[in-house]
Amino acid sequence: MEQTKELLLNMGPQHPSTHGVLRLLVKLDGETITWAEADVGYLHRCFEKLSEAKTYPQVLPFTDRTDYLSAITNEHCFALATEKLMGLQVPERAEYIRVLMSELQRICSHLLGLGAMAMDLGAVTAFLYAWRDREKMYSLFERITGGRMLYNYLRVGGVRNDLPEGIIGTPKDGRELADKTIWGFINYLDSYVLPEWETLVTGNRIFQWRTQGVAPLTAKDAIAYGTSGAVLRGSGVNWDLRKNQPYSIYDRFEFDIPLGKENGDCFDRWWVRAEEMKQSSRIVKQALQWIQETPGEIMPAKMPRAIKPPKGEIYQRIEGSRGEVACHVISDGGPNPYKVKWRSPCFTHLQLIPYISPGFKLADMIAIIGSIDIVLGEVDR
């Protein structure tokens, strides 16, 4: 006699729509997910063990490679931790450059996150548009830091080099200068890219049908599961470490925190990311104005020759592109960190998959993965 049985389906590790090397095991009843589990570890590169054998400045480039789509924010986290351990004062101009770069990086990372989610849901055009704009950003980053994706730009105490001449531009720069000056890019983003995303995808009825009501997450669960960033704010929790635990100089900037509704679904998470780009662009403008007006040093005048923080420990949290990035650094007074623990938001978010996906269709799984915007480099470290 024929019987209906649950089907165990293996997605990945090389399934093109699962963002890198993620393996998902899914049990299906018909087309409905009844059980799901994520299998990670394919990209494990021993970041924490490696950093115990390297000096502090040598660890900085490794942090780029954890979340490779948001390299500057990771560097910022480790640099802040080391500076606090050493009691170093970072020059003001370096702080502004760090914030400027972090926010540009956030825009860049969200563009890819949105583009990849749209592509997984079938809107390939959106992904190509995201790539077109990211290419312009990469040209800017390349001129500022020398690298296109992994920058190694921040230093313990400051940044490697000042902004090159002419990269800032003027507030009147238009579209044609988008890959030449930062003002040009920001104006292009505000006047062209963001409205385009709104009409092309966010306001698209098919896209809304695919994402609204899919995998809702209550605010209480979002906190209990340790989520942060767009996933937490998509569930309506007003929490942003830039506001609630201001690090660096974020308390000097004016920006708002976009929030989803109480039961945040995939669409809310998407919407929060799209709105965050607008807020980042606001911060970039304020930072640009300050940098243009105020010259200054980018490294402390009295920099110790050897970077050897005194005995102690720190747990430094920052708001990365995907959520709360934190590192727990223990120093024993030597040139190498005694221990580095990297708390990555994607690793924490991926735990949600077994919790929020049962009851939805297999095709919704793609939307769920896209909406939590994971980077496997950061999951496995």
Partner 1 sequence: MDIRGDLDALGARFPEVAIEEVPAGGYNVRVAKGQYLDVVSYLREVGYNFPSCITAVDWKDRLELVVQLYKLTEGLTNSQIVMVRVDGLPREGAKVPSITPLYPGLDWHERETFDMYGVQFEGHPNPKRILLPDNWQGGYPLLKDFVDKRPKRPRLVRHRV
Applying CB under 8 A, the residues found at the interface with partner 1 are 40-41, 44, 46, 48-49, 84-85, 223-227, 237-239, 243-246, 312-315, 317, 324, 326, 328, 330, 338-339, 341, 343, 347-348, 350-351, 355, 380
97 Cα distance to chain centroid: 18
Would you state the structure tokens that stand for residue 215, as one six-digit string? 């995998």
Neighbouring-strand partners of residue 7: 28
When the beta carbons of 52 and 92 are compared against partner 1, the nearer one is 52
Question: What kind and span of H or E run contains 312?
Answer: strand 312-319
Q: Which is nearer to partner 1, 209 or 355 (CB)?
A: 355
Per-residue 3-state assignment (H helix, E strand, C coil) for 133-153: HHHHHHHHHHHHHCCCCCCCC
Which residues 6+ apart lie within 8 Å of 257 measured at CB? 233, 238, 240, 243, 279
CB of 55 to partner 1, least distance (A): 17
Q: How far is the CB of 361 from partner 1 (least distance, A)?
A: 24
Q: Residue 143 or residue 243: which is nearer to partner 1 going by CB?
A: 243
Minimum distance of partner 1 from residue 328's CB (angstroms): 6
Tokens matching residue 16: 């093109």
Q: How far is the CB of 359 from partner 1 (least distance, A)?
A: 18
DSSP string, 237-300: ----HHHHS--TTGGGS--------SSB-HHHHHHHHHHHHHHHHHHHHHHHHHHHH----SS-
Q: C-beta of 50: minimal distance to partner 1 in Å?
A: 11
Whichever of 157 and 169 has its CB closer to partner 1, that residue is 157
Q: Do the beta carbons of residue 255 and residue 102 sit within 8 Å?
A: no
Q: Is the peptide bond before 13 cis (omega within 30 degrees of 0)?
A: yes
Which is closer to partner 1, CB of 122 or CB of 226?
Answer: 226
Nearest to partner 1 of 93, 343 (CB atom)? 343
Checking DSSP bridges between strand 312-319 and strand 324-331, what pairing results, if any?
Answer: antiparallel
Nearer to partner 1 by Cβ, of 41 and 304: the residue is 41
Both tokens assigned to 141:
């980053």
Q: What's CA 154's distance to the chain center, in Å?
A: 17
Q: How far is the CB of 324 from partner 1 (least distance, A)?
A: 7
Q: Least distance to partner 1 from the beta carbon of 321, Å? A: 18
